[in-house]
Structure 1
Amino acid sequence: MKILTFYLIMISALTAEPVKLWPGLAPGEKAARDEKVVKKGDGIKRISEVTQPTLEVYHAKKEKATGAAVLVCPGGGYNILAIDHEGTELCRWLSDNGITGVLLKYRVPRRKNQEKHEAPLQDAQRAMTMIRFNAKAWGIDPEKIGVMGFSAGGHLAATLMGDPRRDYPDEEKYKSVSSRPDFGILIYPAYLQKGKSNTELAPELNFTKDSQPVFIAVAKNDPYYPSSALLNTKLKELGASVETHVFETGGHGFGMATKRGSPEAKTWPDLCLQWMKKQGVLK
């Protein structure tokens, strides 16, 4: 019996119950649909048809808890979510390192007659607001809440960093709570450029000299590498805080680089932890 109890405790520590972001239908949604789950030969779990977005909280291990938290935004071109490869695995890694990981399952695929990021941004803003609102109960420092995004999720994270406006009806308890993250971690982000421009950022990105600190990791042989290079240049021109790591190889979509990517790309998690220490997020 004791062994079974211990086993159940360990399992519960590694899992998280989904919490709905919206009390009813999400803004603009007309009906809830069943999600679709697809696994291809690469073993990556992909989900689509998300109409009821959620967050899942992976609390930091008590003996290592730092008070920091990170909202994790998986990628997938705003059409699917690589929910484990760029989500669950990262939340567990964060938890192991004393950081509360919060997995965001945002709405996909792209909605007709909307910008690709419009509905996901609403979900990200609501998630960030909920994390900060519940910070005390969840053992989180409300001034140490960051966002991490991969590929399209990197674009979502970058957009969230610079857009404090909320274009949806807010519940009274959330109205005075900021949805602005305190730092951003962008891993092979996509869609940061204005169209095919190599000199202009996408108009939805609103960075200034006072923007939050940014960490970027990307491979040079990633087709979206120019996006990261441009953002790095623009942030430095503004005088904002940015640290960028460019790997010679690794391609796109390597996640934690345990199954794909390159040995060089596999170093980004440790580099990220070091950066968070330099920013004062971790001790």
Structure 2
Amino acid sequence: MRLPIFWLVFILLISSATANAQVWQPAPGQIQVAIWPEAVPDALLTSKAESVAHVEGHGGWAQVRDVSQPTMTVYAPKGENAGAAVVVFPGGGFKVLAMDLEGSEICDWLTSRGITCVLLKYRVPNGNHYWDEKCQCHVTPKIPRALQDAQRTIRLVRSKAKELNLDPGKIGVIGFSAGGYLVAQTSNIFTLTYKPVDAIDKLSSRPDFAIALYPGHLCRAGGTFDRSIRVTKQTPPTFLLQAWDDPVDPVCNSTLYARALDQAGVPAEVHLFARGGHAFGLRDKEHPVSSWPTLVENWLEETGVLPTPIP
């Protein structure tokens, strides 16, 4: 299959940016491309190079650190193309990225349902709201670099809808933990968070549907909802799921967001499970929370993103 010109141009960019560095790479056959055509906006000066470490827990997962060159990897749908795309935001507290546990494994599931999957490797550390160990406090950078990367990626996918055989009105997002916070941000912040770099930035970054699993950073001190997230009728239909025993991001992250969605009249589906903990991805096989992919698929069918199976 011939590669579209779009990919050929960006392959050169990402190849030069990652030369001689231990960077995360997708499985053979997948193409990782830069999301910015030239210089990355508001880049942080750092001497640290991107690296990948294997971390124990949840069966082991790839922890990607010090990402300064954001990229996206497009996974083509398997079987019949549903004409929909989902941009995936892995978690990691805006310090690291769980690129397999909450990234490539999610794409394997989505593509099996005929959905084009776009895995975003956004900038970390300190890309957005995060916990700082030095001050033992939450910090919100003046420049939300992870959100910049997320907005740009959604616009890029929308600009290539014809090339990728997509319905430009069926481009959604899914995120986990910190990535779930990115879901809330992209679902409610539509103004450019960076200076436009080309015609692509004239397109909308609003996702058409949103899925957030065990989101973080929405529930602030005193159990209050993050004031920077202003839910309106423009917020896309949303699916929320979390375990009540989550030891990292309390369940109030989902309940407060669900209340805000309800008050704004936004269609939402919410699932709260008694057990499941945090960062289970697709790997939990012991608790009912493991049924979440089927719940998402049913929701996508009801919202018209996926075709309803013929009995």
Q: TM-score, normalised by structure 1?
A: 0.89
**Alignment partner of 1:128 is 2:154:** yes
Deviations for 1:162-214, whole angstroms, at most 9, x for unmatched residues?
11111322233213211110010000101112x2132x321221211342100
Counterparts of 1:36 and 1:21, CA distance in 2: 19
> Partner residue of 1:234?
260
**Alignment partner of 1:28 is 2:53:** no
> Partner residue of 1:95?
111
Deviations for 1:15-49, whole angstroms, at most 9, x for unmatched residues?
42111011233111155752111112221110010
> Partner residue of 1:18?
32
> What are the within-5 Å matches in structure 2 for residues 255-270 of structure 1?
255-256=281-282, 258=283, 260=284, 262-270=286-294
* CA 119–13 in structure 1, closer or farther in 2 if over 3 Å, else same: closer
> Partner residue of 2:96?
80
> Partner residue of 1:106?
122
Q: TM-score, normalised by structure 2?
A: 0.81
Q: CA RMSD in A?
A: 2.1
- Selected match of 1:60 from 60, 74, 77: 77
Contact 1:53 1:106 in 2 (8 A): yes
State the 1:135 CA deviation. Answer: 0.7
Counterparts of 1:74 and 1:183, CA distance in 2: 17
Contact 2:225 2:256 in 1 (8 A): yes
- 1:208 is matched by which residue type in structure 2? T
Counterparts of 1:82 and 1:116, CA distance in 2: 24
How many pairs are equivalent? 267
Counterparts of 2:143 and 2:217, CA distance in 1: 10
> Partner residue of 1:40?
55
Contact 1:117 1:156 in 2 (8 A): no
Identity value in percent: 39
Higher deviation after alignment, 96-105 or 164-173: 164-173
> Which sections of structure 2, spanning at least 5 residues, go unmatched?
1-25, 129-138
- 1:59 is matched by which residue type in structure 2? A
> Which sections of structure 1, spanning at least 5 residues, go unmatched?
1-11
> Partner residue of 2:170?
144
**Alignment partner of 1:170 is 2:196:** yes
> Partner residue of 1:274?
298
Counterparts of 1:125 and 1:252, CA distance in 2: 26
State the 1:275 CA deviation. Answer: 0.2
Other structure's SS at 1:92 match = helix
> Partner residue of 1:69?
85
State the 1:59 CA deviation. Answer: 1.1
- 1:108 is matched by which residue type in structure 2? V
Contact 2:240 2:271 in 1 (8 A): yes
> Partner residue of 1:4?
none
* CA 60–13 in structure 1, closer or farther in 2 if over 3 Å, else same: farther
Other structure's SS at 1:197 match = helix
Counterparts of 2:28 and 2:109, CA distance in 1: 10
- 1:44 is matched by which residue type in structure 2? W
- 1:58 is matched by which residue type in structure 2? Y
State the 1:235 CA deviation. Answer: 1.3
> What are the within-5 Å matches in structure 2 for residues 199-210 of structure 1?
200-210=224-234
**Alignment partner of 1:217 is 2:241:** yes
- 1:250 is matched by which residue type in structure 2? G
State the 1:111 CA deviation. Answer: 5.5
